[in-house]
Structure 1
Amino acid sequence: MRKLFILMFLSAGLSAQSISKQVIAPLGGTVSNGNNQLSYTTGEIVIGSMTAEDGSFQLGNGYYPSLNLEVLSIDSPTTNLLVKIYPNPTKEVIFISHPSSNSFKVFISDLTGKVLLQNVVGKQEPINIEKYPTGTYLINVTTEDKKTNSYKIIKQ
């Protein structure tokens, strides 16, 4: 009896499952005509994950080609421009310096996006922000070689 139980256990353990793409739909069918067979579905309710040929995960629902899934990010890459904006925080003026650029396109905006200043300034040229109310401002600086970066300045 014990040998029979072990044999049944081993044979049950040797069976394998296979995974295949299947459709679960409320309406559909199959039409056959001789050697040809057509299967159709409407109103699929299941969307399953699949893998692409390269092993990456994809999302598909049977109607459209699979879509590659990619990680989305809200982080934007920053460019190391070696731009220095000082003093920060400030009360009256700010200066911009860079080791090689001598002029900069400057856009200063408040946190609502309203552009307060749009100008080309030279290296070490003061930018007067004394008339702006106390708060935080964004300054976009574009160097002579067309590289742009954003900075936060605080007006006291």
Structure 2
Amino acid sequence: MQVSIKQLSYAYPTSPNDHFVIVVYEIENQSGATLNNVYAGIFADWDILQPSVNKAGTDLSRKLGFVYALDTDSLYAGIKLLTTDNLVAHAIDVNGSGSSMNINDGFSTLEKHTALSTNNLLAGGFNGDDVAHVISANNFSIAPGGKHVVAFALLAGDSLLHLQQNADAAQTQFNNDALTVNELNNTADFAIYPNPAKEQLTIVGLPANEKNTFFITDISGKILIERTDNFTNRIAIKSLPAGIYFLNIITEKRQQVLKFVKN
């Protein structure tokens, strides 16, 4: 399939939007023929608290699939379809006991297609089980050279009600942000030079007049350098030992991670 997929991710630091992340995918048809019967979704195996007593459910009115544990103080996690596409929600008993597939032995192409294209709204039975789920946008077409945007919210909550409230907040935030194809098309990747570098990195493509946050991590994820500036596009790295590092760039609307080598 000749397609190009571009992803943007959005996170928010303040309530009520600090319990979800929005991910937006732009799918471009780079072939010379119309793509029909396209499905796009996200798979999650949350393993909340004791995975063997998890259950999966669906809130169709919110286009929301969720997972929780039967433990008294269980957290809830879920995926919500944000765009106007038709929803497919497929809950899976990982060992195959309550659904049409057993993915303990691998997730075959046929099983992935089944999970993307058919509904199975509940998993976990009465006593709970090791469960997973897929939330997808259902059966759309993309003309030659055309694009289709699909967006999801990845959510957490202290209860089902809290999760539903967070799902509603995510939908409101998505609608207010007006995340459109045009925004995706106008988004260029950041770049850094030189790479490898010895004393300083220069970042290319930063937006003007925005608050930018940078932090550098090693390969274990430990933060070694962190700074926030409105206008700078240079970061001193002279203090770092030689090795491989990751520069995390966070602006008001975007986030990107770039790998570099310190000599």
User: Normalised by the size of structure 2, how large is the TM-score?
Assistant: 0.31
Normalized per residue, the structure richer in helix is 2
Larger RCO, structure (CA 8 Å, separation 6 or more): 2
Q: Could you say which structure has the larger radius of gyration?
A: 1
| TM-score, reference length from structure 1 | 0.49
